[in-house]
Chains A and B, each alone.
Chain A
Amino acid sequence: DAKTTQPNSMESNEEEPVHLPCNHSTISGTDYIHWYRQLPSQGPEYVIHGLTSNVNNRMASLAIAEDRKSSTLILHRATLRDAAVYYCILVGLHGSSNTGKLIFGQGTTLQVKP
C-alpha cells in the first residue's frame, strides 16, 4: 500500500492559517488523496479529498503538487476546535489493493494556541 509521511506535530495560533504537509512519493495514478481528522474523544471526521486539482470546501483547502507526490491541507483560520490529529490517506479505486481501505498513518497532531 502506498505510504504517506506527515510531521508528528504542528502548532498554530488561533485565527491564523495552517498548512499541514503530506508526502506520498509512491502514489499511484489512481490513488485519491483523502484527509480526515480526529478530535479528542471522537471518531475520525472526513475533511476533504482530491485527485489532481486543488480542492476547496467549507472546512479546508487541499493543494496538490503537480507531480502528486505531496499535498498540503490548508485551514484558512485555525480555531481552538481545529485542534486534532490530521491524517493524510491514499485511497484507491475499485480493483486496487487499497480500494475502500483507509490505512491510517500516525498523522499530525495540531495544537492551536489562543
Chain B
Amino acid sequence: DTEVTQTPKHLVMGMTNKKSLKCEQHMGHRAMYWYKQKAKKPPELMFVYSYEKLSINESVPSRFSPECPNSSLLNLHLHALQPEDSALYLCASSQDMGLPSGRPDEQYFGPGTRLTVT
C-alpha cells in the first residue's frame, strides 16, 4: 500500500472558524510533510516532521498549527485564516529524511485538500 490519504477533499471555512486537515499513511514512513499549492503555482513546503518531531517550519504563520500524534498521522490545525490562504494543501511522506540510507528518499503525496476561506 503506497497510498497517502487526506481528508476532507474539500473544505470551505470562514475567517473565524477553526478546522483541521488530516493526513494518514500506513507505509511505515517516519517523515511527513505539509505543502501548500496556490492555483497554477508549484507546491511550497510548509512543515516537515521527522520521527514525530517538528524538523522544519518554513516560517509559516502561526494560524497554521501542525501536529503529528503518531507515526501514521499528520494534522494541520487551521485558525483565523485569511482568504489568501485558500489553496490546495498537500501532505506527503517518505521513509525518513535520508538519515540511515544517506540519500534523500522519494516522497509520496496525497491528493490534497482543496481549502477555500471565505
Contacts and interface: CB of A to CB of B under 8 A. Distances in A.
B102 A93 contact: yes
B103 A102 contact: no
Contact of B42 (A46, A92, A107): A107
A44 B43 contact: yes
Nearest to A32: B104
Interface stretch (B11-19, B44-52, B63-71): B44-52
B107 A102 contact: yes
Contact of A42 (B48, B99, B102, B111): B111
Contact of A93 (B31, B55, B103): B103
B97 interface: yes
Interface residues of A, number: 26
Contacts of A100: 31, 48, 50, 55-56, 94, 97-98, 104
Nearest to A99: B97
Interface in A18-63: 32, 34, 36, 38, 42-46, 49, 51
A94 interface: yes
Contacts of A104: 42-44
A61 to B, nearest CB: 16
B112 A101 contact: no
14 contacts: A34-B104, A36-B107, A42-B111, A43-B110, A43-B111, A44-B90, A45-B109, A49-B104, A94-B102, A100-B94, A100-B104, A102-B45, A102-B92, A104-B43
